[in-house]
Structures are given as C-alpha cells and as structure tokens.
Structure 1
Amino acid sequence: MDNINLVENFSEFKEFKNIDRETMMRIIEDVFHSMLAKKYGEESNFDVIVNIDRGDLEIWHNREIVEDGEVENPNTQIAYSDAIKIEPDFEVGEEVSEQIFLSDFGRREILNVRQALVARVMDYEKDNIYKKYKEKVGEVVTAEVYQIWKKEILLLDDENIELILPKSEQIPSDYFKKGDNIRAVVSKVDMRNNTPVIILSRTSPVFLERLFEQEVPEIYDGLITIKKIVRVPGERAKVAVESYDDRIDPVGACVGMKGSRIHGIVRELRNENIDVINYTTNDSLFIQRALSPAKITSIHLDEENHRADVYMRPDQVSLAIGKGGFNIRLAGQLTGYEIDVYRDTDTDTEDVKLQEFSDEIDQWIIDELINIGCDTAKSVLELDVEELVNRTDLEEETIREVIRILKAEFE
C-alpha cells in the first residue's frame, strides 16, 4: 500500500462528502500526527505534507545530528554515522529530515489510519449538517420523499441529507408517495447518538407564517406584520395582521385580488380555511372580528378573568361556533379570551329558523314540521296542537315538548 493510493481514496471521499480542500488536508494531517505520536511517543518533530489535488502524502522525520554514542532520544536525535548515510555532507549540530513511507508502518497501523479518517470525516460531516440546519430552524425547505413509514416519512434534500416528517407533524389529509416533493418548515434539530436528527413540520403555525411571507411581498418587506396565528391543521386557521402603512389594507393585501395570494396557501394546506383578521388592541372589536363570519349584536367583557359573553341573532350562532367548534375555539386562542355565545332574544319581532334548534329537537321531528311548511319557530307556534297532530305523524306529547322549547326562545 503506497502513499498515493491512500490519499486518492480519501480525495474521492472528500468530493462525495463536499468537504473543502483545506479541511480535508487538516483532517488527514491530524490523523497522521496522532498515529505518529502513538508510534514514537511524540510527533512535534514530524512534518506531514498533504496535497489533495495531486494525491501526495509525505511524512518527514526531523532529527538533530549528534556525535556517535551521544544519542539520548532516537526519536529526536540521530548519530553522525547514520546521518551521513542519508547525505554525506551533513555535520554535527545540523538537522536531518528523513522521509518515512507508509510501507514502513504495519498493516494494523494503516487500518487504524483508515478507520480514523473515516470517523473524522463522518464527524465533520455530521457537525456541518447539524450547524447548517440549526440555522434553518423556522425556514421552509423542500425535500423529496424517500421512504414512508407508519409513524414518519423519510425525505432527502438536494444534498441527500436525511430529514424526518413525523405523522404528528403532517396535516391529517396529507397523502404522499415516494418521489413527491414536500414543503415543510424546519421545526427542530437534535443530536442523537452523535447523529443530527432534523424534524420538519407542516402543522406548525410557523409554516403558515412562512407561506404568507412567500406569497405576500408586503409581509416579507415588513410593511405588514403577522401578530398571531392559530390553526387546526387541515381544518381552519385564523391569522391576525397589522399594517404599518395606513395606505395598505392588510387583509386585502394578504388575500389578494380575487383571492389570488391566499389560494396558493390554501392549496398547500389541503384546503384549510384561512380567516385573515385585522388586528386591533380593542379587545371587544378584536373578538368581534375573530368570530367572523358570524355577526354579533352585543358583547360583555370580563377583562380580569379574560371571559367574553357574546350575544348574536340565533341564525348566527352556528356560524360563530363553526364546524366541529373550530371557529369559536380558534377565536378564543387568537384573542386570549374564553368566549361564550348566547342567542340574543331581547326582541320578539325576530323569527328563528327551525333548523337552529337541532341541538334541542331531533332532526327527524324538524324534518316532519318542515314538510308541512313550518320552517321557522313562529310558523309552528301559529298553529294549535290539534292541527299539528293532524298534519304530521307526530305524537301530541312530542308536539307539546316542541312548542315548549320554541316558546322558551321568545321568553
């Protein structure tokens, strides 16, 4: 095994791992100095010269020439009679440099050098990956699906660095197959067993914030600020925005002409409903905006306990609560208030659609009443019990219970 073969081997490895020339030279020098120190007891009087480009590796042993019989340390000194065998012009007191070849070392020592080089290069590479992605935490990256497991997806970036997208960080309706490109935000970077583990997320509010920065130039430029984001991934999100320029409508800028800007974000998030809200320090107004698209008639705040009682027309209650209760839950998270919604029944001039009572009256009973043309509370109350019994297939006891519930709405 000669010098050139060893260095060329790691020169190729260096190119594959994308380690710069100076770093690779330093690693090789350090590894050989360690080997020399182990073999000779010290290495300060050895020179290791590496030229990656040419594949050259030279080791020179530097010793002082002393009189024959006066050699105290053969590692640092050489007898005059031995020195003139190397170069006949040498004199006592001069320094002689003698080249050492890898063939002078044992097979085990060479194997140890190879293993040490591999370990050092791998450690350097791992450290580089860790530092690179530690700086990218909070940034959106694109990577290709390499392997899909039950609890996570393994992805590769354009440098073949492995990234992990756990199931818990995927939008529920996400579906990917091998070869797909995925956009996600770098959530965190850990070192486990001396190996960097890079975790991505598509459910983090930060991911949504970065998507807005990419789609809305005013946010990227700092003219509009995202004050807070809350979301139920894949279902609904609320984004509070504020403009530092009175001429810019923050909500309009984020949505874009005919929704052009927000549509791309919605598609990326698997049709997640996104409400963009104009931020305000007025808590009452902020809660009103957060409950959009529902319209409220009045609100009472308990600022000390962060509770809000919101009153609205009966036909607005279901809008305020939203599908699965997501709208009212997110409004509470966005504003920091615990919100309770009440039907506003201060006036009896308003009628209420029968469907609004679905939480108190069974759907099949409502359907029976709607079939005879009674689709509002007052249209039912205008008829007496006997007529309702005759026109429907409902029992008298059931009808009386329905009437009791409907009358309570207007009391």
Structure 2
Amino acid sequence: MENLALIDSFSEFKDDKQIDRVTLMAILEEVFRNALKKKFGSDDNFDIIVNPDKGDLEIWRNRIVVADGEVEDPNEEISLTEARKIEDDFEVGEDVSEEVKLMQLGRRSILALRQNLISKIHEHDNTIIYKQFKDLEGEIYTAEVHHIRHRAVILLDDDGNEIILPKDKQIPSDFFRKGDNVRGIIESVELKGNKPAIIMSRAHPVFLEKLFEQEIPEVFDGLITVKKVVRIPGEKAKVAVDSYDDRIDPVGACVGMKGSRIHGIVRELGNENIDVINYTENITLFITRALSPARVTSVKINEETKRAEVILKPEEVSKAIGRGGHNIRLAGQLTGYEIDVLREGAEEDVELREFSDEIDSWIIDEFKKIGLDTAKSVLEQDIADLVKRTDLEEETIQAVVNILKEEFEE
C-alpha cells in the first residue's frame, strides 16, 4: 500500500532527536488533513488512521451513493455506477469508504505536503528549544564559539543550539577564538517568527551573582546571601553579602585567604575589581561601607530625596570617587542613594548649583557624575584629567574653571 511507512518516506525526520514518533505521526495527520482540504475542499468526511507503532498511515474517504446523474457534491457523494466499480452490490443511500492513495493527491500537492511537514517539524523543534531555554533564563550556561561577527559572537552548545552573545553583553576585555568555551547567563529568550533567539550576557550583574553561587560553597548552600550586585563590566563591581549565622564572616568567606576564593571570579570577568561588602539595614553604615576603600568621617541622610551628604578628609575624596567616578557611582547604585561628597573644612566652598545662572545645568551634572559638586572640588582637579573623566570639551572645562576662580578671587 502506497501510504505504508510514511515516516520512512520522509527519512530526514525519522531519527529527529527533538521529536518522538507519536508526535511525528500527529503532525503527519495534521499535514495530510490540510492537503485534503486543499484538494477536495473539506476533510470532514475523511478518516485518517495512524499507526505509530508500525509507522503507517491510511486515508479513507466516506461518500453516500446517489443515483446516476444526481451527484451534486463529488467529495461527499458518488454515483451508483462508480460505487459498483468498487463493489458490485452497492445500492443508493449506502455509505462507501474508499482508500485514497498518496499519488491521487497529485505531484504538486505531495511536494507542498512535504514542505508543510518540514515547516511543522521545525516549528515543533523550535517550541521545544524555546521552552527549554526559557526555563534557563538567569542561569549560567556554557557554549562554544562557532562564529565571530562584528556585533556578536555566535555560540553553539552540545546539542547544536545557536546562542547569541552580543557585543554590548560582553565584557570590554573579552577576546574569543573559534572553539573557545564561553560562560555567561541566559539573559533572554524570544521567539522571532518561529525561531527562538537565545541571548547570552557576561555583562549582567546576575552573571556575577551566579559566579558567587558556583565558586563559593557557603553561597551555594544558602549560608551566605548575595543581597545586591552592581557592576561596571570589566572595571569594577560591588557585591553586598549577608549571613544569618553570626559565626560566619560573609566577606571573609567570599574573598577567601589572600583572595583565593574570589580570584577565579575576577579572572573570569577580565580582572574586574570586586568589592565585597557586609550588608546592613543601617543605611548610614551601609553607605559608609559602600564607599570603601575611602574612610568616611560622617554621613547626613535625606530620606525624602534619597540623597546622602558624605563628609571626608581631603585625602580620602579621590578614593571615594574612584577612577572615572566608578566607586561613587556604584556606591550610589548599591545603596539606592545619590551621594554628594563634601570635604572637611570646606565651609568656604560653594556648591556648583549656585553657579546655574552662569553654567548650564547639563555641564554641572557632568561634574556631579564623577563626584564633583562644589567649586573647590573642581578647581583641585587637573584639566586634562577632567577631560578624560567627563564628556566635556577642554574649552568648556576651562570656561567653568575661569568662572569658579572669579568667585574666590572676589
């Protein structure tokens, strides 16, 4: 029979790893019903018998016998003369079941059927892959570099699934070669058309959090909790940790003897500088710890505006701000407060916002981004260094310096 072993006739799907035989037979039935609708206008009077154990499929068309010349719908009715060619004892009004051979659908229909089957199989596979990786969102995953493009690295896992690591999700110092194994978190999974787009990230804060879980047993066991992670990928990160067991020093356990435990994480992240901080609900103490390695003299909190004024000795200011303003920016993100740095004995200083009639507010904001919010804090800096640390032109910075100098010369 021509319809026997249909799976074998589509051999490329027979050994498909993503689909079982029963599901494949169900897809075959759906595809054939679509073909019957196109060929005969309806599939309501067709029986499709699928045998997944044998891998065969039979199609039977059911019609009613009518008198010769009274056939109105050839799909549902058959003339007495035609019926008796099947069996010679049929009478008007009886039901006739006739097997439909595959070739009766026509060569063009068979080619379309085959293409439709390919599409349905791929759609099924993609749904399975989507669900598999959707469950892995936020988890660490490892895949091999397959192709390096300008804007992304294309990875393949052991099952041949394609994973995209975009340029902006990489650590700036990342350098990959074909065949390298790459670790990151599955950041997002979306269906684009019928194909899942799996995005990996190495720059996301969750990647660092998951590395702590993998590399530090106390975090994995739940004895130490990672409360919050903030990062400037490849540059600096701050991780707040806590433990409900007073016998455990969470910072010491995470860092290890002479940094032995955290060293592997730092290396994985391209020598990213990681500050591990004891979490506390005392916001004043938390801000003080977050500004490490700077030593804070005092902190004044404004709960309504979520701002904190931090007083430091002049020699501690540069430590609090950090290279490129990274330290103070991350401390603000970690604590949820905007931090203003003030120097001890700076009573004669003037806040930059007092110059808003002479200096544009966006320029003042650029200085504040790197922790400079008073006139003297700007004047103490080297102009060339300010050009590197801000998005301002040298001429703009020089003009600001001239305005600030006039204030103190008066």
Distance 1:92 1:334, change over 3 A: same
Deviation at 1:35, TM superposition (A): 1.1
Once structures 1 and 2 are overlaid, which stretch shifts more, 327-336 or 299-308?
A: 299-308
Distance 1:212 1:285, change over 3 A: same
Letter in 1 for 2:240: A
Distance 1:174 1:51 in 2: 53
> TM-score if structure 2 supplies the norm length?
0.76
Once structures 1 and 2 are overlaid, which stretch shifts more, 88-97 or 280-289?
A: 88-97
Once structures 1 and 2 are overlaid, which stretch shifts more, 59-68 or 146-155?
A: 59-68
SS across alignment from 1:16:
coil
Once structures 1 and 2 are overlaid, which stretch shifts more, 11-20 or 268-277?
A: 11-20
Distance 1:126 1:88, change over 3 A: same
Number of the residue aligned with 2:141? 141
Number of the residue aligned with 2:406? none
What does 1:2-401 align with in structure 2 at a 5 Å threshold?
A: 2-3=2-3, 7-16=7-16, 18-51=18-51, 54-64=54-64, 73-78=73-78, 82-83=82-83, 85-87=85-87, 95-344=95-344, 360=380
Letter in 1 for 2:250: P
Deviation at 1:170, TM superposition (A): 0.5
Once structures 1 and 2 are overlaid, which stretch shifts more, 1-10 or 306-315?
A: 1-10
Deviation at 1:334, TM superposition (A): 0.9
Letter in 2 for 1:46: F
Pairwise CA RMSD: 3.2
Distance 2:89 2:219 in 1: 77
Once structures 1 and 2 are overlaid, which stretch shifts more, 41-50 or 113-122?
A: 41-50
Letter in 2 for 1:45: N
Deviation at 1:113, TM superposition (A): 0.6
Deviation at 1:258, TM superposition (A): 4.3
Distance 1:221 1:92 in 2: 79
1:22-48 deviation line (CA, Å, top 9, x unaligned): 221111101111111222222122222
Distance 1:361 1:78, change over 3 A: closer
Letter in 2 for 1:329: R
Deviation at 1:156, TM superposition (A): 1.3
Total equivalences in the alignment: 354
Which runs of 5 or more residues in structure 1 are unaligned?
347-356, 363-411
Once structures 1 and 2 are overlaid, which stretch shifts more, 1-10 or 121-130?
A: 1-10
Note if contact 1:7-1:52 (Cα within 8 Å) is conserved in structure 2.
no
Letter in 2 for 1:167: K
Distance 1:91 1:249, change over 3 A: farther
SS across alignment from 2:16:
helix
Once structures 1 and 2 are overlaid, which stretch shifts more, 70-79 or 102-111?
A: 70-79
SS across alignment from 1:324:
helix
Distance 1:109 1:29 in 2: 15
SS across alignment from 2:266:
helix
> TM-score if structure 1 supplies the norm length?
0.76
Letter in 2 for 1:326: H
Distance 2:248 2:271 in 1: 27
1:351-392 deviation line (CA, Å, top 9, x unaligned): xxxxxx9x8498xxxxxxxxxxxxxxxxxxxxxxxxxxxxxx
Return the index of the structure with the highest Cα Rg: 1
Letter in 2 for 1:133: F
Deviation at 1:106, TM superposition (A): 1.4
Number of the residue aligned with 1:373? none
Note if contact 1:301-1:309 (Cα within 8 Å) is conserved in structure 2.
yes
Letter in 1 for 2:10: F
Deviation at 1:54, TM superposition (A): 4.1
Note if contact 2:66-2:92 (Cα within 8 Å) is conserved in structure 1.
yes
Distance 1:281 1:288 in 2: 12
Letter in 2 for 1:205: P
Number of the residue aligned with 2:387? none
SS across alignment from 1:297:
strand
Which runs of 5 or more residues in structure 2 are unaligned?
347-376, 383-410
